[in-house]
Amino acid sequence: MKKILLVSALALSCLFANAQDGLKGTWFVGGQVGFGSDKSYTTSSDQIVERKVNDFAVAPLVGTFISPSVAVGAALGFESGKVKIAGVQTEKTTDIAIMPFARKYWNISGGLYFFGQAALPVSFGSTEYGSGDTKLKVNDTNIAVALAPGFDYIINDWISVETSFTVLSARYNSSKPKGGDSSNSFRFNGDTHGTEIGDLTIGVKFLF
C-alpha cells in the first residue's frame, strides 16, 4: 500500500538539565501524529470510479540522557490505512512498531549540537486485500537498522529545532499470506552523496 504523505506532526520535549552534569539525567518525551487523505479516480469495468485513501499514524517517544552526551530511548508506533474504490473497501493495513535508539551528542557552539543516532525499528503488521468473500490477508514483519546524523539547536529556554538525515539503512522483511508460503527480502541503502539516502526530518521541540 502506497504511503500517504505525512500532513501533520507533533513533537514535544521535557528537559531538566543539571549544570554540573550537563545533560545527564535529562528526560525527554515526544512523538509524532500523522494523518492523510487522498482522493483520485481510476477505472473499473470500463468505468471511472473514485479511489479514496485514508491513513493515520501515532508514535509517542521517551528517552533519557545516561551521560552528559549520550541518550537512549524508544518510540512505540501504530499506523492504519484504508483504500476504498467506488465506496467498497479493497485494502486495509495495520502496523505496530517499536524503535529503540541511542544518540551521541557533541556541542558545537552555544545551543547548537551535532548528534549521531543509531536506531533499530521493528514492526509487525497485516494487510487485507479484496472485499467480501474474496479477502486475502498478508502478515508482514520488518526489522531494520538505521544510522542518522543530525543537528539540534536550542533557540531559547523553551523551544529548539532539530533536523536529521538517514545516511545508512538495512531492512529485512518477511511476508506470509494466509494459507500460503512466506517470502523474505533484504534491502540495503547507503550513499553519502546521492539523492536517495533517506528522509530528511525537521521538528520543533518545546522545552520546559
What pLDDT shows up at residue 18?
Answer: 37
The SS3 call for residue 80 is strand
d(CA 9, CA 61): 13
- Identify the helix (H) or strand (E) that includes residue 153: strand 136-154
Partners of 183 in the beta sheet?
Answer: 175
C-alpha cell at 76: 512505540
For residues 180-202, average pLDDT: 68
Contact 51, 37 (CB under 8 A): no
- What type of residue sits at position 68? P
The winner for highest mean pLDDT among 45-54, 128-137, 168-177, 192-201 is 168-177
d(CA 9, CA 176): 32
d(CA 95, CA 121): 12
Give the chain's mean pLDDT.
79
Q: For residue range 43-93, what is the model confidence (pLDDT) as tens digits?
A: 767 778 888 988 898 888 888 889 989 999 999 999 999 988 877 778 889
What pLDDT shows up at residue 179?
Answer: 80
Q: What are phi and psi of 159, to 5 degrees?
A: -145, 145
Whether residue 25 is predicted with pLDDT greater than 50 in this model: the reply is: yes
Confidence of residue 11 (pLDDT cuts 50, 70, 90): very low
Contact 164, 149 (CB under 8 A): yes
Q: What are phi and psi of 124, to 5 degrees?
A: -130, 130
Contact 115, 106 (CB under 8 A): yes
d(CA 205, CA 208): 10
Whether residue 156 is predicted with pLDDT greater than 80 in this model: the reply is: no
For residues 99-107, average pLDDT: 94
Partners of 120 in the beta sheet?
Answer: none
d(CA 113, CA 106): 6
Contact 205, 31 (CB under 8 A): no
**Structural domains for the chain:** 1-207 (2.40.160.20)
Which phi-psi region, left, alpha or beta, contains residue 7 (left: φ > 0; alpha: ψ -120 to 50)? alpha
What is the pairing mode between strands 168-177 and 183-190?
Answer: antiparallel
